[in-house]
Chains A and B, each alone.
Chain A
């Protein structure tokens, strides 16, 4: 038992202090500030990319500074493609209501290049025919705009709702303090209103930091965002470098279906799911309140499909290390001595296959969190 504990300690050291990419350099370096361990790297990838790191990315980024990671990925199309997906999901513009036009399709590229800000991006999404089809009629359209863009309860803002509906139907009026006379005016006014900045920042803060922003801080951020919506990239960077985000890394919450699907593909197949694969699986999982049973079925189906490349049992020379690495890679944490002991003991039984170990990890509820 002592030997196992010792080897685990050594392994833990190896994983944290000698990430693969840096271990190869042979140089002696001080650990960077806020160095990315498996937990932080996995969390950061989920938050920015909607998936865990691919194996080459894990090798590249483990042990490096978080700010370097952010600077790299905040300028990448993949990050903003994921951000756009988050927005589409928020507006329930999915499946048949997904906007397919060029102006929405080019958003990730323009956002990554800094040629467009997030407020304009949301404006474009809301101007798409899909948004109109998803929210048909004056009452539904204006209600959704007020609720989702401005965070206003229409039952408490009946007058604004009625004026907004009039403007939607072409009657001039003053909506949220500004004049308008068309459906497009309703959107423009809503998005330019300060309540949009506030609502958007609260929503994004909850998503990234998993907490409510402090009131004073929110007011300041909203002022900053209202002045220049392009500031959002810097705000996002600040959030992910904060101690509040460190706390988020330590907390676990159930992964949305789309993230779980992406994780399963990245972790087991080494690639992201194709959009069509992801859509079909997500639609099925979104149809269940308790997705645990179906997620377990799907994970097992994928492992049994023969597409997952696993070493043969004989080729695994050091089962302890192999299992410990699976814990780090799939759960974003080191295995406890008890966990490692139980897994290694099971692995040595003749009936246990490498697939059995993988089943245990990816069908466990912890794998369904992030």
Chain B
């Protein structure tokens, strides 16, 4: 049995052809779904939203430094003005990892701050892929926080799990100049003649009875990674470099692959522990990078009228400065526990401000519903008064 990823680097087909294959594959997958799941998938097709960008503006960001100081976040301001702003989103101080994970699972569950392991609950990525019959290339997470954040891609629930997980790319981990220099030193893999590629596929297929499980998605991811390494992402510098790379990776993924769901997890605002000014600077720069992403979406004919944004921090920060003139997160104040969520998209209301309390765990069922999936294990509710 041949595996396409063995010869991925010989693939020179244009992305357009790949896209068509995705669409055909997804359509075939939908037809094969049980009737209930198919109904759930088909219902929202009347909506204009076909793509969702979910941004965990994480690292602990207070509303005081975002909508409380509008000059810091002109992009968020503009999105909110043209969309829906939830002013009181209850989050939980579960540590960065647990709090961000709860956005994706719709369940507030205690996780260790440095726990480098997957959760037991399904994530919205798994719901969307399973219910929608989507391939891995349709669902991505772009992170900036390193190894721990790859655990967001899927949980360990027996009904879901790895086979429905998102592709996770950590921008700063993968697209750093040092790694690129290794590839520059080693060189690129050589293109195999067709017959040799066939023999390779035959031998690989023979190992362990042929159940290796790699497929077209892996081949596309391989190609994307190698292409991205040669672009400018690895060269991004500055106080928010890791966050900026995560946003840049998401932008490139969106424009190239047109996936249904891209999530971005930022992290560097946590510099606030030691420097208030550094923290504010990172917020400003991340807002600017989100502005680039938003512009790219609006400039793309396929994305501009079909893409929704949902943006919120995982939690805020303490009300008062610490002894280092920084901001920790542990005082139980409203500044810590309530954040602001911004929603913008073709189906959402415009210039609507919601003052009522909602919860960060409401995001998971909301995004799932937007994409025709059902977050059956989530404990949050759909965000109220979101639609026009």
Contacts and interface: CB of A to CB of B under 8 A. Distances in A.
Contact of A365 (B195, B203, B213): B213
A283 B176 CA distance: 9
B179 A280 contact: yes
B208 interface: yes
Nearest to A290: B167
B221 to A, nearest CB: 5
A363 B204 contact: yes
B27 interface: no
B98 to A, nearest CB: 9
Contacts of B154: 289
Contacts of B183: 301
A292 B171 CA distance: 17
B199 A356 contact: yes
B212 interface: yes
B206 A343 contact: yes
A329 to B, nearest CB: 15
A360 interface: yes
A300 B193 CA distance: 15
A351 interface: yes
A342 B204 CA distance: 9
A352 B330 contact: no
A155 B181 CA distance: 44
Contact of B329 (A135, A137, A154, A342): A137
Contacts of A339: 206-208
B267 interface: no
B328 A365 contact: no
A9 interface: no
B243 interface: no
Given A147-B112, A296-B5, A287 B169 contact: yes
Contacts of B74: none
Interface string A287-326: 1111011101100111011010000000000000000000
A225 interface: no
Contacts of B8: 293
B112 A284 contact: no
Indicate the member of B176, B204, B222 with the most A CB atoms within 10 Å.
Answer: B204
Interface residues of A, number: 60
A265 B112 CA distance: 33
A289 B167 CA distance: 6
B256 interface: no
B379 to A, nearest CB: 16
A296 B5 CA distance: 8
Contacts of A155: 94, 110
Contacts of B168: 287-290
Given A136-B328, A280-B178, A305-B187, A366 B113 contact: no
A353 interface: yes
B110 A359 contact: no
B189 A304 contact: yes
A287 B146 CA distance: 6
Contacts of A300: 9, 189
Contacts of A290: 136, 153, 165, 167-168, 218, 221
Indicate the member of B189, B212, B213 with the most A CB atoms within 10 Å.
Answer: B189
Interface in B59-106: 93-95
Given A284-B176, A301-B189, A342 B206 contact: yes
Contacts of A165: 330
A197 interface: no
Indicate the member of B143, B146, B153, B171 with the most A CB atoms within 10 Å.
Answer: B146
B172 interface: yes
Nearest to A134: B114
Q: Which 7 A-B pairs have the closest CB atoms?
A: A139-B330, A287-B173, A287-B170, A342-B206, A137-B328, A289-B168, A136-B273
6 contacts: A92-B148, A138-B328, A143-B113, A284-B179, A286-B150, A296-B214
Given A293-B5, A304-B186, A360-B203, 14 more contacts: A94-B146, A140-B113, A147-B113, A148-B112, A277-B182, A280-B182, A288-B174, A301-B186, A304-B187, A304-B189, A307-B186, A339-B206, A364-B204, A365-B214
